[in-house]
Chain A
Amino acid sequence: MVTPTRDRQPKVQVRDLSIHYGGKAALAGATFEIHEHEIFGIIGPAGSGKTSFLRAMNRMDLFNPAMEVGGEISMDGKDVRKWKNVYALRRRIGVVFPLPVGLPMSIYENVALAPRLGGTRKRADLDVIVERCLTRAALWDEVKDRLDSLGSLLSGGQQQRLTIARALSQEPELLLLDEFSIAVDPVTTMKIEDVLKELRQELTIVLVTNLVQQARRLADRTAFFLTGELVEVAPTEDLFTGGASDERTTAYVEGRFG
């Protein structure tokens, strides 16, 4: 938060992005940039288009024929829709959605899956990755003695942290988090938040959250979305100290609606 972020390279450029689901608009004409090595917060009430942006970023429109994306999202200057190998793109982007998904395989395999697919075969290397990712997701201490049990049978909060560990196991350049703390208790949330602050040294994080205070604690800059419209993007502190240029933003961060 100390370094002025504007000197850095844009990691992601979004130009005139609009997203429709079967004709219904979810996001219209959003243009903004996400800088390298920053935590970029996105706040806004439900239905504002936050999640749709993450989906488009990771080319999840390919999963859903009803989802149409217009405009452009570039990572490192390249439109994500122009990638020849969309799987390589997705490997470079880690995502965590609010509904935790523990895959029906052992906890170890959950985390080792992405590295394995990426060609890491040596057990010792995998061991290191699994321990590191589970530790960062604040799950290691709880599961280190039962790495063989099914990931899909963990509690909701544990599955959420397993999902985070899995996203980290890809060694992504860009980490997209969508309300990750929804199923996690406050103490663990704080632990993960500390890890996210550290991770900023290595990667770029997009943090979609419905908790404005979480954005305030973590994000360098924050965007405010409202019913499919990008209201504004500004350094987080500005938004919370009366520097918002739009009255609606101030109203939202002060909790007057949402």
Chain B
Amino acid sequence: MAQGIAKAPLPDQRNLAWYVDKTVQVLVFVGGISAILLILGIFVFITKEGMGFITQTLDIGEFFTSPNWRPTSENRPTYGALALIAGTASVTGLAMLVAVPFSLGAAIFIGEFATGKTREILKILVEMLAAIPSVVWGFIGLSIMNPLIIDLFNVPVGLNVLNSGLILGLMAAPIMTTLAEDALKAVPDGYREAAEAMGATRWQVIFRVVFPAAKNGLVAAVLLGVGRGFGETMAVLMASGHSINIPTSPFDSVRALTATIAAELGETAVGSDHYRALFTLGIFLFAITFLINLTADLVVRGPRKR
């Protein structure tokens, strides 16, 4: 049997291939934990810059209850974030009011009604929508929505809660649609078939069977959409009017937490109170989005794992 080629059997020794394999294993492990290191790094670095401010200068009560964000005031700077929080909340709230029903509706249509080519094309369109950069959305708010709102509602300024809320809604909708559709798809076909065999119509199947079964996934989709809206920066910076204000109507201009950091960080001296105050806003944003993501993850995985 072609003895010329046959070799002595491989001895039980760690050879080059074995060491290469171990080295690769260590390298990819480092890559694997990089995500943990980075999330910790983000926490450490923004805390490092902001912590001194929180312990020395910041009045927590003022931060959450005062609407006066005047970090550059000559005689007495104030750091009340209430108006900024209200700005973020109002814009995100309006965005969700628009995006949640429409995203769920779109997810149901794509997942439960559309078939074949239609479904494929709609999914691609939704994916493309999600790819539009936020600065382009901000520009749309500024240059297209702004004059439109002024004309339609006869108001002096079109950069307001309505404008940025709609923009943010359109931005958050694709990702929510995709996640919601995934959640619907995760419901086994057997459920649908069983219900249809019992004579239920399609919409009965959707509302009575598919929706309850996909509930957790849908809630997570909405939560992640909220997180997205909460953290959005450029669009809100450009379309919300940039005035620090607790809004009383959708036509009021506001300023969001994210937009405040983006607008002011460039003008602060490194290490100044103002600079550190902006990092404090960052810590706040980080904490909120962390909680939202954690909750979404627990909602999806919790019941399955435990």
CB pair A84–B9 under 8 Å, yes or no, is no
Contact-residue size bin, chain B (C-beta under 8 Å from the other chain)? 10 to 19
Give the chain A neighbours of B15 by CB distance below 8 A.
85, 88
Which residues in chain A, 74-104, are within 8 Å of chain B measured between CB atoms? Answer: 78, 83-85, 87-89, 91-92
Using known A-B contacts A85-B18, A87-B17, A87-B18, determine if residue A120 contacts B5 with beta carbons closer than 8 Å. Answer: yes
Which chain B residues lie closer than 8 Å to A47 at the CB level? Answer: none
Interface size of A as a range:
10 to 19
**Nearest-Cβ distance from residue B115 to partner chain A, whole angstroms:** 29
- Closest CB in chain B relative to A139 CB, distance in Å: 17
A193 close to chain B: CB less than 8 A: no
Smallest CB separation, A172 vs chain B (Å): 9
- Give the residue name and chain of the A residue nearest to B16 (CB): A119
- CB of B11 within 8 Å of the partner chain: yes
Q: Are B10 and A91 in contact (CB under 8 A)?
A: yes
Residues of B with C-beta under 8 A to A78? 12
Q: Which residues of B contact A171 (CB under 8 A)?
A: 6-7
Nearest residue, chain A, Cβ from B18: A85
A88-B5 in contact (CB<8A): no
Contact of A61 with B by CB under 8 A? no
A85 touches B12 (CB 8 A): yes
Contacts of B1-46 to chain A: CB distance below 8 A: 1-2, 5-7, 9-15, 17-18, 21
- Interface hub of B1, B14, B15 (most chain A Cβ within 10 A): B1
Inter-chain contact B2/A128, CB cutoff 8 Å:
yes
Q: A129 with B1: in contact, given A85-B13, A88-B10, A117-B17 (CB under 8 Å)?
A: no
CB neighbours of A148 from chain B (8 A)? none
> Counting CB contacts under 8 A, is A15 at the interface?
no
Question: With A85-B18, A87-B18 as given contacts, are A132 and B1 in contact (CB-CB < 8 Å)?
Answer: yes
A134 CA to B5 CA, complexed, in Å: 16
Selected from B2, B9, B12, B18, the residue in CB contact (under 8 A) with A132 is B2
A125: Cβ under 8 A from any B Cβ: yes
Q: Does A29 have its Cβ within 8 Å of any Cβ on chain B? A: no
Nearest Cβ on chain A to B6's Cβ, whole angstroms: 6
Minimum distance in angstroms from A52 CB to a CB of chain B: 24
Write out, one digit per residue, whether chain A residues 107-144 have a CB within 8 A of any chain B CB (1) or not (0).
00000000001101000010011001000000000000
Chain B at the A interface: mostly helix, strand, loop or mixed? loop
Q: Given A87-B17, A87-B18, A117-B17, are A92 and B9 also a contact pair (CB < 8 Å)?
A: yes
The answer to whether the Cβ of A173 comes within 8 Å of any Cβ in the partner chain is yes
Give the residue of A84, A89, A125, A129 whose beta carbon is less than 8 angstroms from that of B14. A84
A202 in the interface, Cβ–Cβ < 8 Å? yes
Given A118-B7, A132-B1, A171-B6, the answer on whether A83 and B12 have CB atoms closer than 8 Å is yes
Known contacts A132-B1, A132-B2; A85/B14 CB under 8 A: yes
Q: Return A207 CB to nearest CB of chain B, in Å.
A: 20
Interface string of B248-286 (1 = CB under 8 A from A): 000000000000000000000000000000000000000
Q: How far is the CA of A244 from the CA of B15 in the complex (A)?
A: 47
In the complex, what distance in Å separates the CA atom of A89 from the CA atom of B14? 11
Q: Which of A118, A125, A128, A129 interacts with B10 by CB under 8 Å?
A: A118
| In-complex Cβ contact of A84 among B1, B2, B12 (8 A) | B12
Cross-interface CB contact of B5 among A83, A89, A92, A129, cutoff 8 Å = A129
Q: Are B12 and A125 in contact (CB under 8 A)?
A: no
Please give me the residue from chain A that is nearest to B5 by CB atom. A125
Residues of B within 8 A of A88 (CB): 10-13, 15
User: What chain B residues lie within 8 Å of A117 (beta carbons)?
Assistant: 17
B12 touches A89 (CB 8 A): yes
User: Are B12 and A202 in contact (CB-based, < 8 A)?
Assistant: no
* Least Cβ–Cβ distance between A82 and chain B, in angstroms: 9
Q: Which of A212-240 contact B (CB under 8 A)?
A: none
CB distance from B302 to the nearest CB of A (A): 23
Q: When chains A and B are docked, how far (Å) is the Cα of A125 from the Cα of B4?
A: 9
Interface residues, chain B, CB within 8 Å of chain A? 1-2, 5-7, 9-15, 17-18, 21
Q: A85-B18, A88-B13 are in contact. List 12 more A-B contacts (CB 8 A).
A: A84-B13, A85-B10, A87-B21, A88-B10, A88-B15, A92-B9, A92-B10, A118-B7, A125-B5, A128-B5, A132-B2, A202-B1
Q: Which 10 A-B pairs have the closest CB atoms?
A: A88-B10, A83-B12, A85-B18, A91-B10, A85-B14, A125-B5, A92-B9, A88-B12, A85-B12, A84-B12
List the interface of chain A (C-beta within 8 A of B). Answer: 78, 83-85, 87-89, 91-92, 117-118, 120, 125, 128-129, 132, 171, 173, 202
Sample 15 A-B pairs with CB under 8 A, ordered by A number. Answer: A78-B12, A85-B10, A85-B13, A85-B15, A85-B18, A87-B18, A88-B11, A88-B12, A88-B15, A92-B10, A118-B7, A128-B2, A128-B5, A129-B2, A202-B1
